Amino acid sequence: MKTKNLRNHRLAHGAGFTLIEIMLVVGIITVLMGSAIFMLTGNLEFAKEQRARGDLQAIITQVRMYEMKNGGVPLSQSAGLQALVGTGKGFEELPKDPWGQDYKYKIDSSSAKGFKVYSMGADRKDDGGKGDDISSK
């Protein structure tokens, strides 16, 4: 009987949360969510760069296969990577970089390979494989 009276007393006198307590909890949740989003954003860009590097290695492998079959790398910069597309040629279709752009192919006589394959990166500006571009090197 005593327990029942104590419960009725709490209900009658408003035993809920105060506005300050609710605001404090909302503030803590906001800070935690903000820091989680900040940390995940950096990892997302790192993951995109790693995927681009993996794609570049696959493209370089296909260019090397093309070179072995045809006696040289594709000589046309405009159609260079398109030479790798088709039945039995390596790619059914060329992959896009993680930012939705085409990978670039450039004849580069200063490179030991004789060519360079690169992604324009997050800024989507063609720096010729330099700057923030992700390059095959």
Q: What is the pLDDT of residue 30?
A: 92
State the total domains in the chain. Answer: 1
Q: Within a domain: residue 13?
A: no
Between 97 and 88, the higher pLDDT residue: 97
Q: What is the pLDDT of residue 43?
A: 79
Q: Is 78 helix (H, G, I), strand (E, B) or coil?
A: coil
Q: What is the pLDDT of residue 92?
A: 82
Q: Within a domain: residue 82?
A: yes
Which backbone phi and psi does 97 adopt, to 5 degrees?
-70, 170
* Dihedral sign (CA 50, 55, 57, 60): negative
For 94-126, what is each residue's pLDDT tens digit?
A: 888 899 888 888 887 777 677 888 888 888 777
Q: Within a domain: residue 1?
A: no
- The stretch 70-97 carries a mean pLDDT of 79
Q: Within a domain: residue 53?
A: yes
> 117 lies in which domain range?
19-135
User: Which pTM was predicted?
Assistant: 0.65
Q: Which helix (H) or strand (E) holds 46?
A: helix 19-70
For 32-78, what is each residue's pLDDT tens digit?
A: 998 888 877 777 888 888 999 999 998 888 888 888 888 888 777 66
Measure the CA–CA gap between 87 and 98, rounded to whole angstroms. Answer: 25
Strands in 42-132 per DSSP E = 104-107, 115-119
Q: Within a domain: residue 79?
A: yes
Q: Within a domain: residue 100?
A: yes
CATH code of the domain covering residue 40: 3.30.700.10
Q: Within a domain: residue 10?
A: no
Q: Within a domain: residue 63?
A: yes
Measure the CA–CA gap between 5 and 79, rounded to whole angstroms. Answer: 86
DSSP string across 99-113: TSPBPEEEE-TTSSS
